[in-house]
Amino acid sequence: MPYDREDMGRLVRELTGPLVAHLSPGRARLRLGTNAAHYPDAAAELEAFARPLWGLGPLAAGGGTFEHWELWRRGLASGTDPGHEEFWGAVTDFDQRLVETAAIGLALALAPEVVWDPLSGRERDNLAAWLLHALTVEAVDSNWHFFPVMVGLGLERVGVGFDPAPNAARLERLESFALGGGWYGDGPTAQRDYYIPFAMHYYGLIYAALAGDRDPGRAERLRERAAAFALDFQHWFASDGAAVPFGRSLTYRFAQGAFWGALAFADVEALPWGTVKGHLMRHLRWWRGRPIRDSAGLLTLGYGYNQPLLTEQYNAPGSPYWALKAFLPLALPAEHPLWTAEEEAAPDLPAVATQPEAGVALMRCEEGRQVVMLSAQQYNTWARHGAAKYTKFAYSTFFGFSVPSGSRGLDQGAFDSTLAVSDDGVHWRPCEVPRDSTAHDGLLHSHWAPWPDVEIETWLVARPPWHVRVHRVRAERGFFSAEGAFAVNRDTPPRRSAEGPGHARLDSPSGLCVIEDLTGVRAGRLVHALPGTNVLAPRTVIPTLTGEHGPGEHWLACAVLGLTESPPDAEWPEPPGWGTVSELLPGGHTCGLRE
């Protein structure tokens, strides 16, 4: 399905229309199901109400129609009226409600004629008072500082005065997170995930577009960083529009591509407009083909399908509607060059792109049909399944990655694209917190310690379409090891498979996956992971190498291949020669590996 401006407008209405039946009597709450997030129902129902505004506000600003605006205006009036039974409650420090104020602020800034002007004087006063109070609370030291800034943009547009000094300080703090090369941290953390494009840059570009006249120096810096980031971020997308699934908040789905529309909103031609348009439209078309809505048309929790296991503790039923951030360019007129440009195919990019700021190397495989991200730096210790979402060795646009579904056995652990160790062969520990990480010229290096008396040093080497993993293990105890390749959809019968000394291989219509031991000390097996663990396929099998090792120093190494299609001949692909890999290790170390 081709996507252009009119198609995108229809898609916004298609996504938001089914929500109407779930609005509360006062229209301030959207009740989409059981709230299992850490915040109360009032905040969750505000979240579901507010997040559609990320798409509806731009739709209205660009002249698009939406027949249910009166319902959202009633909701704004009821939710901000302290005397109404559906009052959302005052925003407090570090409150989920603060997150949702940003969408309301943007809607006021872009489309006051449908959001603000029709309200009565008392309703405007209540809404303004509620938002003004939100400007006074403490925010998490991260992209959250942008939420009061978005509120400020909306209040300015409708003529409500406030002290600008706190927001100026917040903007200074946000700029302090800049790392160079167009990259930010999402606060003082190790995370360099999608919160950089769909939060840090996204809000920054909105600010640059709406406040550039009065804050030109900052607006120029924000634009320059976004332009630089675009050159790196384009490597995260395959030629079919799929983005690398990586990190937390994947249930926001096509928010992954929101950065491309934000570039256009701020008139940042970081790449030719046809290229920018192609990135955005292919991404939306890719998502169009995924089963991400239920029978009533509501977005589900999960990534490639309805998968609540994937979600974080801050995901309520309305959380997925952050996806509507992708529709920001609907605010642009039809004459904008984003819309008048012909959509261009995915650009021809280098086979390996190393991005030291994020600690990743991106491999462009099979002429761009698949992107594999090697990762060695990032981690998250507080989000559900943080280790699986950040510290696996590889993440694929085609094979995705898996999260655990229990604590016993390899089938529950679903240890694709990682090395897990165990002292009893039942309970397993993967890498959780890498340290001393480096990324340079397709070589990633890190240290990690599953136990105080076991130290593991890992090298990842990009050799597209293969990648090689080398581990030096220094252990004061005996241990078991299990190292998985990619997880392959097992709903399609395999054409052939092989498991035995030094290898595990699977070839099916759902892809080919091979893991070859380069030390000859491990055995291969095909692990059937529990259902619902992989982010793209509900049922998978993981080619895996397993071993048992005594105390002492051990070198483990393997080569891993995942292809979307089988090679034309019947032979299993050969891994890259060791000589092309060992030269990258310190001193050309052979690690005792076979040639």
Count of Cβ atoms closer than 10 Å to residue 170 Cβ: 19
Q: Name the amino acid, one letter, at 156.
A: E
335 and 356 share a domain? Answer: no
Residue 38 included in any domain: no
Residue 345 included in any domain: no
What is the C-alpha separation between 406 and 377, in angstroms, rounded? Answer: 25
Tokens of 202: 């996204």
Tokens of 83: 């005397």
Residues 6+ apart with CB under 8 A from 382: none
Residues 6+ apart with CB under 8 A from 408: 426, 427
Span 363-409, pLDDT tens digits: 999 999 999 999 999 999 999 999 999 999 999 999 999 999 999 99
CB contact at 8 A, 394 and 374: yes
Domain end among 308, 340, 372: 340
Which pLDDT score is estimated for 592? 47
Residue 595 included in any domain: no
Domain count of the fold of the chain: 2
* Ranges of residues in the chain whose predicted pLDDT is under 50: 592-595
Residue 246 included in any domain: yes
Which pLDDT score is estimated for 1? 58
569 and 458 share a domain? Answer: yes
Residue 45 included in any domain: no
What is the C-alpha separation between 408 and 411, in angstroms, rounded? Answer: 8
551 and 467 share a domain? Answer: yes
CB contact at 8 A, 317 and 33: yes
68 and 136 share a domain? Answer: yes
Domain end among 311, 340, 369: 340
Tokens of 132: 């003004």
Within the chain, what is the greatest distance between any pair of CA atoms? 79
What is the C-alpha separation between 18 and 48, in angstroms, rounded? Answer: 12
Residue 238 included in any domain: yes
Which pLDDT score is estimated for 578? 63
**Could you tell me how many residues make up the chain?**
595
What is the C-alpha separation between 85 and 155, in angstroms, rounded? Answer: 25
222 and 358 share a domain? Answer: no
Q: Supply the CATH number for residue 512's domain.
A: 2.70.98
Which pLDDT score is estimated for 594? 43
64 and 105 share a domain? Answer: yes
Q: Name the amino acid, one letter, at 299.
A: L
User: Residue 480's domain spans which residues?
Assistant: 352-588
CA torsion through residues 86, 91, 96, 97, sign: positive
Residue 532 included in any domain: yes
237 and 172 share a domain? Answer: yes
381 and 240 share a domain? Answer: no
491 and 436 share a domain? Answer: yes
Which pLDDT score is estimated for 577? 75
Domain end among 309, 340, 371: 340
374 and 329 share a domain? Answer: no
Q: Supply the CATH number for residue 320's domain.
A: 1.50.10
Residue 40 included in any domain: no
Which pLDDT score is estimated for 148? 98
Span 257-267, pLDDT tens digits: 999 999 999 99
Which pLDDT score is estimated for 595? 41
CB contact at 8 A, 485 and 466: no
CB contact at 8 A, 327 and 54: yes
Antiparallel, parallel or unpaired: β 352-355 and 360-365: antiparallel
360 and 276 share a domain? Answer: no
270 and 367 share a domain? Answer: no
What is the C-alpha separation between 146 and 140, in angstroms, rounded? Answer: 10
